[in-house]
Structure 1
């Protein structure tokens, strides 16, 4: 017994997660814990989609307010993502991960208890900010605590996690809203983050190693503020304009967004000429893979964000299905997206850019078939009839998702890969938020006249985007052999 006590005082068991962390490494269980921490904020962008009718009924929210519940989260997330990575570099990723996760849990509690839609929107914006501080620490820890095949596998798992979280979010949201736990309706979709987050927080505090950059990059505060202001100036009129009849101030904000965007470009160029590394480095954006790939990622994300938003509303508001069936309806897409994510790296390595074009064609076929089913069979649309189209769309978009992310960093020097991937995910999140605001507004404007045609109008735009991506894939750089140094936010 004394020997046992002495062994306990001597320190953690060799090879245990805690011992590996103290040695500066990352145990496989630590990888799982970090992925669990990342899963929550990624899922939370989408989990509200199936809860929107319940939020509307409970808080008497306008359609534009419901858009802001989703898009406000996305803009805060996108605008502060690179800042989060740089703070982790400077002050320690372990500390930033724990602090951001604690903040995310507390703000999730605030979202779940929000008495009005205005409070909910404000809490969602803060929630997006905490997510932006949390996510970069996961990828950067993988990059600095793992090597070789373990690093490549961890980053691949992150990619699969981030993709599947989008569709799982709507499924989980539907389950929780339909359960109506203790008459709380939509509130558990946020409250569920509290117990899960606390468990991840306690475990991560013991087994995740502390890493930081030996050469941390300065925080580009002017660039961050200007970029956030530009996104906000675009988002607010897109979300509010249609419900208010497009008053003069909405057009003034669009003009302001153009001015702010131009000022952002000037400020970022001057910062780079002074030898600083700005939020959106102009020299990096001029690289062929970045200039072409980022535009395609932005377009893809706009379509994807809009689809998840309008499909949930079509199923619930149009077909009058409950939140559970609204979540289950997306399951075929989730399953094929997950399976496609596992196969995509091998197919892309073998077939190169052609794999992206094939994926785009498959997704295009799925979306076209889905529109045909909804328009022709309305209002007697069986959710079983949407399963095959959604499965095709999920399989195709998984190939595009993986290929576009891989191609963007093809020309980026290894020492700038962290900054490049930070820009990449910033543009992805911006696209998701803008898709909800822009194409979501189009849907809400047409919905009172005809739900199926409102859905079709949005999907025609998305299909046009996918068709352009199918053709544009040939303009991307040729794929090199996959390496262990996969994209990370380490900037």
Structure 2
């Protein structure tokens, strides 16, 4: 453990006697408990990507229009991103299993509301509520892993968590295509939300017995000013970027973007002042001074922006550009999903020999190679491409992601103290989710802008070139990761 971690500051308020709490290591995390929380963790990310392939069907059924369709995607992503750190703090304070179950119930009910929505506006409202429920659920997963495992068991658990995240991003679009095409019981697009309900019920039945009850041994009060400013900062950045193009970039979008750095500066000052006065900031500045966390977090934006944008673009290109059915478009992504799954087993073996930092770098380099191959495949073969032509590049990209993402999570949380497991997980997941949303907003907007002016081939090449740039930046930043983390 680093000297920075040993010197991690404990505020006077945190040192006061706390109400009795389940100690962080009250019991270990059993295989069934790990399976339970990982199944719960898959739901929010699957739901982020599953909507991509159903937007056309939703538009036809609910007469939504481009702006409301953007809100169906952005409303969920925005609520999810801005509340994740608060969700982590609430889990540390009131109990991670309790917040996991609360978020799970909320996610199941809001998924049902999405599936039964009679109008586009009702669907948007339900999606916002669904994102808020996901933000309560998600930080508890890594928080629980961090608090109840150590050594090899933690490496394995975090690796499986990262593999679950990577698979969920891909399986969301595969599952979405299959469900929309299957039209089960004539539910059409509604099945992509209703499928969450039985899964949530299964996890809800397993969790009370299988998941240990943990929370911080020194529960801390909620930092209301910090929470409000962080929410305002992320909303000011993400909302105009996700809604601006569909709305025609009105004045409020530019005002909001201009306000973002000032809100971020105000958040930093408020948190630093709270720390100096012995209060409990939402994101303790001492946490961000941990080299492993700070350097690991720096990789998540280019990683998430690139992959979030890629999956959004592929959902359109495979069906509208290459004329694949939704099922065939889903099958085209199977090599990517299989490669992520296989890499999740190779990752721990490589970490034991080379360290997590080097494995992240190897994964980033493999992703870069796959990105270049995919770009050349589209450049040379358009529009005569099928699933077999795309499979090699998808497999390389998937294996690289399956190596890098789980180990990157391991690096970020390696020196976080146990009492801050929830907030550390929340900070990391917020960065990841915000980056995915930014990827859809930026690379997705680039793709749509070029599509309108130059056509589908040039649009996909421009988007892939932007993705190659993001992957190259990820690889460059991975050189700065600590090498000794195992």
Tell me the TM-score range normalised by the shorter chain. 0.7 to 0.9
User: Is residue 2:388 matched to residue 1:384?
Assistant: yes
Query: For residue 194 of structure 2, what is the aligned residue in structure 1?
Result: 191
CA apart distance, 1:149: 4.6
Relative distance call for 1:314 and 1:213 in structure 2 (3 A) is same
* Residue aligning to 2:441: 437
Out of 393, 403, 406, which is 1:402 matched to? 406
- Structure 1 consecutive aligned stretches of length 4 or more whose deviation exceeds 6 Å: none
State the secondary structure of the residue aligned to 1:177. Answer: helix
Shift in CA distance, 158/203, structure 1 to aligned 2, threshold 3 Å: same
Partner of 1:465: 470
Instruction: Give distance in 2, aligned partners of 1:265 and 1:453.
Output: 41
CA distance in 1, matches of 2:290, 2:69: 38
Q: Distance in 1 between matches of 2:74 and 2:111?
A: 16
In the TM superposition, residue 184 of structure 1 has moved relative to its aligned partner by: 1.9
Secondary structure at the residue paired with 2:138?
Answer: helix
- Who is 2:234 aligned against? 231
Segments of 5+ residues of structure 2 without an aligned counterpart are 1-25
* Contact 2:159/2:407 (8 A) holds in 1: no
Alpha-carbon distance in 2 for matches of 1:443, 1:64 = 17
| Cα deviation, residue 335, structure 1 | 0.7
| Alignment length (residue pairs) | 459
273 and 372 in structure 1: CA distance in 2 versus 1, 3 angstrom threshold: same
Match of 1:277 among 249, 274, 280: 280
Residue matched to 2:293: 290
Q: RMSD over aligned Cα, in angstroms?
A: 2.3
Distance 1:257 1:108 in 2: 31
Structure 2 residue 75 is matched with structure 1 residue 95:
no
Q: Alpha-carbon deviation of 1:264?
A: 1.4
Q: TM-score if structure 1 supplies the norm length?
A: 0.87
- Tell me if structure 1 keeps the 8 A contact 2:114–2:126: yes
The gaps in structure 1 that reach 5 residues or longer are 1-22, 483-491
Whole-angstrom distance in 2 between the partners of 1:185 and 1:62 = 18
CA deviations on 1:315-334 (whole Å, 9 max, x unpaired) are 12222322212221111111
| 1:160-217 Cα distance to aligned partner (Å, 9 max, x none) | 2222111111111111111011322111010011122122212323444433332113
Is residue 170 of structure 1 aligned with residue 158 of structure 2?
no
Deviates more, 1:186-195 or 1:120-129: 120-129
Equivalent residue in structure 1 for 2:253, among 234, 246, 250 = 250
Are the equivalent residues in 1 in contact too, given 2:97–2:140 (CA < 8 A)?
yes
1:320 alignment partner, SS class: coil
C-alpha change, 1:476 and 1:102, in structure 2 (3 Å) is same
Residue number in structure 2 paired with 1:450 = 455
Q: Does 1:55 align with 2:54?
A: no
Deviation (angstroms), 1:410 = 4.8
TM superposition shift of 1:387? 0.8
Q: Shift of the alpha carbon at 1:109?
A: 0.6
